[in-house]
A and B are shown apart, each in its own frame.
Chain A
Amino acid sequence: MNLRFALRLVGRDWRSGELRLLLAAALVAVGTVTAISLFVDRLQQALLAEATTFLGADSVISSSRPIPDAFRAAAAERGLAQTDIVSFPSMLFADASDDARNQLVSVKAVGPGYPLRGAVRIADEPFGQDRVAETVPAIGEVWLDSRLFPALGLDLGDTVSVGYAELGVARVLTAEPDRGRSFLDLGPRLLMRVEDIPETKLIQPGSRVSYRLLLAGDSGALASLKASIDADLRPNYRWRTVKESSPTIGGALDRAESFLLLGGLLAVLLGGAAVALAAHRYARRHYSHVGVMKTLGATPADILWGYVCVLLIIGVVGVLAGLVLGILVHLGIIALLSAYLPVRLPWPGPNPFVVGSVTGFVCLAAFALPPLLNLRRISPMRVIRREPDRGLSNVITYGFAGVGSIGLLVWYSQSIWLTAWALVGATVVCGAFAVVALALLRGGRIVGMQAGSSWRLALAGLQRRRRENVAQITIFGLAIMILLILLLVRTALLAEWRSQIPENAPNHFLINVADDEVGAVQNLLREHTDYDGSLFPMIRGRVTTVNGEPARGWREREGERGEDLGPGLGSERNLTWSDDLPGDNVLVQGDWWPADTAESLISVETDYARGNGLRVGDLLEFDIGGLPVSARVANLRRVEWDSLQPNFFIVFSRSALAGFATTHMTSFHLEPDRKRFLNQLLAAHPTITVFEVDAIIAQVERIIDRVTRAIELILGLVLGAGALVLIASIQASHETRMKEHALVRALGGTRNLIAGALAAEFAVLGAFAGIVAVLGAEITVFALQTRVFELDYDIHPWLWIAGPAVGMALIASVGYLGTRKLVRSPPLLVLREL
């Protein structure tokens, strides 16, 4: 059999409609996956781009030492955009006079082109309406934070002194994308040009300066740059990307990715199921065909080659058409959601097309190849004598499907966990379905004996085709289960995301509150806001030794490796003391100390302790303001970082820090229309620093909102794939049903009887599938939520009513539509065509 013959075979089968379902299944599988991949790819790029504005760049190299020119040259060589930031604290004087008002500010000197991602926002009056700045300050100019104006009595156009430099106040600075999230970087901001730094003469040996090189461009070029300078980065330079710099955004992105991939994964499984059903039906319809060809001299190898060619042709056509369908669907989605999506989505990379194509071919090979391979074993004797066909071995069918699905899922999700749990869900469901479906069918038949004729016919039909119906209940159930899972997981994720940033989450931080200001500040806050918190003492220091061993060596030997394990032992940290366990912290190990303890004790955050190999009982020595302080680890505690409350890796007992002067900090919620309160606060306490995080929260909310939209879309696409499985599954039993019902009609059954029996049969099938789908969904969602998404889980009573009802309505209507022809055609015609 040659390729031309295979092409003819395809042409003829296409004409007779036999390949349409298989091609439709392949098309939808590829189309759905491609559309999801394209959309996810572009959306992820957009989300990442939006998230990179938190860094002001795609990647940042930071250090307390100047950035070597070699790094800049290497970045330029790769065509990357780059700009410098130098930041340091300094005193700002309102004028050059000796008694000028002054304020400690956080100076940020930037190069032209800053920021590479996101935008700086400026205003023409303090706390006024802001807008995007098109440029950076001109040389000789500064832009100042709103609160510096009342604190120093400044107006736009005034001159201020920074070190030896005198600079003009040109704009009010309201926001920069990479406004520090480290407390080192806090303080009212002063934005100036790096070119003006030499004139200030502020940078001396030993000055506390942070140098950053912002980088933006192609991810390949960035990776290549990182690889080439990796050895030179350590130990003094740090390479950061958005996920590391902003754990909240990183977490949201990770969860969005997980969810979107789960959607894609389920679409692949549904597409595979539809392909398998269509291929089994196609193969069954070709048994006689193959028998005849074998009597005419076709060898098993011919048959094999012929049908592999058929599959290849279907694959090529299905994949190409599927890619086009995917592009169209994703364009449709984007058009539909243009109002909610970023203004310009980046162009997709080649990846979605590769994903779509590979998915198509692997799907066909895993789900459609086994029944077609089996065709070569069809005995030519079947043409002269009806013999039972040697069915396809289950090992081969499920083996192929299993290897194919698992391979695809792991490759697609890049997560063995996610795949494993999706499969555990599917396996549990299939096992439960088989058992429950059998019991339900048996019970249904017994009840059916007492029922009216339509129901009796329907339930007898269900019981007679027990094997097929168990399989169909499994597939219907799987489709319903997947929809339920999506619905439940989506609801849970949204609720969790929303609760992550509670309605009245603190959106302003106050630091640098002196000891004698604590009471007054607390009163002001209580008077003008809903504040009911307390102020935390704060002092900076670092760990020098653990149990007498230098900190670095200890961490290397004892610390766990891994992400999210907090900063290193030796770096300078904000420290605090407290008599009580901070509000939303949870004690994990050890005991909290009595308020009046005279011992020098510390409480350590769990991840920080794991990352640095610290255990209860360890003795740590700190360097605080040049003085050594020893303290023993009394307990470990878990911290809810997402709460936006002030939190610390290390908390001391009060007596341990008794001799040190500390400043205080706190956080509070302030509505946007009450921002002017900050003026009042700062006028009364000019040395206090306010850190506004409401802008960051707004950005996080915007990202979460867009992710939500994406999830709703994916849900729609997966629903479409689910509907196709229903249709394929009804088609699979079409011939048997037609024959039976034609016989009943030939024997005098009315059209109404058949219609009623069909509706009843599909309704019962749907209800049975619904019951087991709910069971499977509850189990799978429990696993997904507790293991993958790390959320809490509650059972859903409404589901146990809604699931079977939805199953009944859905399958009865789709099934009835699919079998209308059966009811309408005259029985003789139906019998002759079989």
Chain B
Amino acid sequence: MNNHSAAAPILRVDNVCKTVATAEGQLSILDSVSLEINAGESVAVVGASGSGKTTLLGILAGLDLPTAGDVWLDGDRITAMPEEDRARVRGRCVGFVFQTFQLIESLTALENVMLPSELRGESDAGDDARMYLDRVGLADRLTHYPRQLSGGEQQRVAIARAFASRPKVLFADEPTGNLDTSTGGRVIDLLFALNRESQTTLVLVTHDTALADRCVRVLSLEAGRIEA
């Protein structure tokens, strides 16, 4: 399945549409979106609330399926795959940072970071996780639970978790949305620094233009269409 080559884009979107049924009839959320993102590139997707950013992110990461069109991720046509196979692709090459952190409340910081490796059945999950937590400056918070951490600390744990899975593509959904400006700034610095070190492809969804400008490319989404 994996016929990915250096020249090929790591993410290719071809004519993707998404409509949902509402009481008023069919509502179009994404309308013929096509784009390509190359390996190592950092791309920001910007747009107003309701423009379809989050839906697009979900489809790009294989969390959701489009109504029409195709998505190739790391050479796999994920839109043709059942959920079981898409999950494997995610496990292999995707990392996430969410606006609401999405740490598991019942797990410590260390256990949250170990989770992706554990899901892959790797045995040295602990060492790797400690290393990444150290890298985000939380080496002394390994056994803390999410509720014992501040918002910024929680997002740093989430970043450590995202990179601990050594993803090829990192999807970040409004990563500073729940943080104050200065904490948000520090978290973003960390995100970009790690991204550079790991040479990960970054797809960042935000409505913050300053944040978007730190990416190599900015795609603007309006009413479900990519603006030129």
Contacts and interface: CB of A to CB of B under 8 A. Distances in A.
B225 interface: no
B54 A384 contact: yes
B106 A297 contact: no
A677 to B, nearest CB: 81
Contacts, number: 93
B77 interface: no
A734 interface: no
Interface string B50-88: 000011011001011000000000000000000110011
Contact of B118 (A5, A294, A300): A5
A5 B122 CA distance: 10
Interface in A109-148: none
Interface in B4-24: none
B92 A297 contact: yes
Given A2-B121, A383-B98, A297 B90 contact: yes
Nearest to B116: A296
A386 B64 CA distance: 13
A289 B91 contact: no
Given A297-B94, A300-B87, A16 B63 contact: no
B83 A295 contact: no
A289 B90 contact: no
A722 B105 CA distance: 31
A2 B125 CA distance: 14
Contact of B119 (A16, A296, A380, A384): A296
Interface string B89-100: 011101010111
Given A296-B119, A297-B92, A302-B119, A12 B107 contact: yes
Interface residues of B, number: 36
B102 interface: yes
Contacts of A12: 106-107, 111
B165 A384 contact: no
A300 B102 contact: no
Contact of A381 (B64, B87, B120): B64
A300 B54 contact: no
A76 to B, nearest CB: 63
Given A16-B106, A297-B92, A383-B98, A5 B121 contact: yes
A383 B106 contact: no
A380 B88 contact: no
B27 interface: no
A18 B104 CA distance: 13
A379 B55 CA distance: 13
A8 B118 contact: yes
B147 interface: yes
Contact residue range for chain A? 20 to 34
A185 interface: no
Given A16-B106, A301-B84, A293 B63 contact: no
A384 B98 contact: yes
B173 interface: yes
Nearest to A829: B147
B61 A295 contact: yes
A297 B63 CA distance: 10
A16 B105 contact: yes
B212 to A, nearest CB: 18
Given A299-B87, A832-B147, 17 more contacts: A1-B119, A12-B107, A13-B106, A15-B106, A16-B106, A289-B106, A292-B103, A293-B119, A297-B88, A297-B94, A297-B116, A300-B83, A379-B64, A380-B58, A380-B90, A381-B64, A383-B100
12 contacts: A2-B121, A289-B104, A289-B106, A291-B102, A296-B90, A296-B96, A297-B116, A298-B91, A299-B91, A379-B63, A380-B58, A380-B90
